[in-house]
Amino acid sequence: MTPENEAATRYFSAITAALSGLEVFMRDDRSPLYRHGIVAKIVAEYIARLDNSFSCWRNRLGFMETFRISRAESGFPVFQNVLELENDRRQADTRLANIPLADELREEMADFILRHKEFPEALQKSMAERLYLEGVRSETTFGPFTLAQTAKVSVNPKTGRPYYLVHWAAFDGSANLPLVYMVTVEDSSEDMIGQLVDRNGKLNDKVDIPLPVEGLLNPELAHRFDDFTEKNSAYTLSPATIAVNLDKDFEPLHPKQLRRVVLGPFYSAGITDNNSTVSEVLAKVRKPENAWLLTWTIQEVYSKAEKPGRKGLFSSEKATQEFFIDTNDLEAARQGVSSYEKHALIPHEAYQALYAAGEAQKIFSGYKVHILSKGQVISDV
């Protein structure tokens, strides 16, 4: 194994452990997202997609020499890897047709070893490529952009409008960060109100809604909504900017809350150099599989009021949202959010190393710290 592949193997072990730990955290009843069960479930689905992507990339090492990550910034794979994975998924069937079946390859490998008394590297690479393509074809991975789904439908008793919880995801190509979006949006379309709201102002139980629904529930706006989310999911756009754009671009849609979960940065000893202090301390951790730190940020912007629309003979204005930005918090104002939470997940051994080095308080200032120990997560340390 080359030094590059050895480093990649350590990286994959670390990120897999981190994502598994994050899934444990999501299931923990002390998790801040656990209180919002559907939110935790949605985020967990995207974590599973990301985990599948890393499984595929790990298999890809069997026939590719290198794997690039954003070492100095996010600690996640560079965007090119995400694009290649998506491209390979689309071409998987065609490429698999040109590679012998797994059983045939095993027979050829055994025959090669008997005849040549050496390892069949070319055949091994073919086997690795077959396993990779089979995985890419069958697994649901985290792509460059994941189209929206409607996960929940209800009715706001105050406005009499149906509202949807819609989510989508993107892997930002500039920051190399996975992003998960969720928006709660009311719909004042006459057709949707007529279909979904009964005479008592509640959700019409005679309408069968097979959740989750692909795309926005409103079919007349679904394609436009997909276009909007794909163009408005960049990390450089603040949640407030995205919410304002959504409010402006869709006359019958009224976004009440938009949440963005930014996964990363990720720190791994001997691999990433995005924080020299963290890297130096993590390098002292005895077990390499415990020498990592995963951070994420939950950003939220919500509407504090709705300015009524105006209809006139010559002009009209749609109802618009007044989004709350906490200007008393400079960081919230900088992020363009009503509120935010910064989280860090770290193995117990790595946390002990940071604590012993006197760096824990400085590194975790402003973070909610969660320690992974023996398969459980300890929070509020």
Task: List pLDDT tens digits, range 42-55.
Answer: 998 999 999 999 99
Q: Say what the pLDDT of residue 24 is.
A: 84
256 touches 163 (CB < 8 A)? yes
Q: How many domains does the chain have?
A: 2
CA angle in degrees (0–180, nearest 5) for 310-311-316: 80
Please tell me the number of Cα atoms within 13 Å of 58 on its side-chain side. Answer: 14
Quote the distance between the C-alpha of residue 315 and its chain's center: 42
Residue 12 inside a domain? The answer is: no
Residue 18 inside a domain? The answer is: no
Residues 131 and 162 in one domain: no
Q: Say what the pLDDT of residue 380 is.
A: 67
Residues 107 and 165 in one domain: no
Q: Say what the pLDDT of residue 9 is.
A: 82
- Buried b or exposed e, range 226-263, using 16+ CB within 10 angstroms: bebbeebbebebbbbebbbebbeebebbbbbbbbbbbb
pLDDT at 3 over 60: no
CA–CA gap between residue 53 and residue 192 (Å, rounded): 37
Residue 24 inside a domain? The answer is: no
Per-residue pLDDT band at 332 (split at 50, 70, 90):
very high
Q: Say what the pLDDT of residue 273 is.
A: 86
Point out the domain boundary residue: 107, 138, 169. 138
pLDDT at 66 over 80: no
Residue 133 inside a domain? The answer is: yes
Q: What is the mean pLDDT of residues 152-174?
A: 96
Residues 204 and 330 in one domain: yes
pLDDT at 37 over 90: no
Residue 232 inside a domain? The answer is: yes
Residue 17 inside a domain? The answer is: no
Residues 174 and 63 in one domain: no
Point out the domain boundary residue: 94, 122, 138. 138
CA–CA gap between residue 263 and residue 208 (Å, rounded): 35
Residues 81 and 201 in one domain: no
pLDDT at 381 over 70: no
250 touches 224 (CB < 8 A)? yes
Q: What is the mean pLDDT of residues 251-260?
A: 97
Residues 160 and 58 in one domain: no
CA angle in degrees (0–180, nearest 5) for 55-58-59: 90
DSSP string over 184-230: EEEE--HHHHHHHB-TTSSB-TTS---SSEEB-S-TTTHHHHHHHHH
Q: Could you tell me the residue range of the domain that residue 54 belongs to? A: 39-138
- % of the chain surpassing 90 pLDDT: 67
CA angle in degrees (0–180, nearest 5) for 358-363-364: 110
Q: What are phi and psi of 100, to 5 degrees?
A: -55, 155
Residue 189 inside a domain? The answer is: yes
Per-residue pLDDT band at 338 (split at 50, 70, 90):
very high
Closest alpha carbon to 143 in 184, 83, 70: 83
At 1 the three-state DSSP class reads: coil
| Per-residue pLDDT tens digits for 99-148 | 999 888 898 888 888 888 888 888 888 998 999 999 999 889 999 999 99
Per-residue pLDDT band at 174 (split at 50, 70, 90):
very high
Q: Say what the pLDDT of residue 90 is.
A: 94
Q: What is the largest CA-CA distance in the chain?
A: 89
Q: Say what the pLDDT of residue 33 is.
A: 64
Residues 125 and 242 in one domain: no
How crowded is residue 370: how many other Cβ atoms within 10 Å of its Cβ?
A: 23
Point out the domain boundary residue: 138, 170, 195. 138
Name which residue leads in pLDDT, 279 or 330. 330
Reading the block at residue 282, the tokens are 């993590």
Q: What is the mean pLDDT of residues 283-297?
A: 90
CA–CA gap between residue 65 and residue 55 (Å, rounded): 16
Per-residue pLDDT band at 292 (split at 50, 70, 90):
very high
Mode of pairing for the β-strands spanning 339-347 and 320-323: unpaired
Q: Residue 150 contacts by C-beta under 8 Å, 6 or more apart in sequence?
A: 164, 165, 166, 211, 212, 213, 215, 216, 217
Residues 150 and 132 in one domain: no
pLDDT at 337 over 70: yes
Residue 314 inside a domain? The answer is: yes
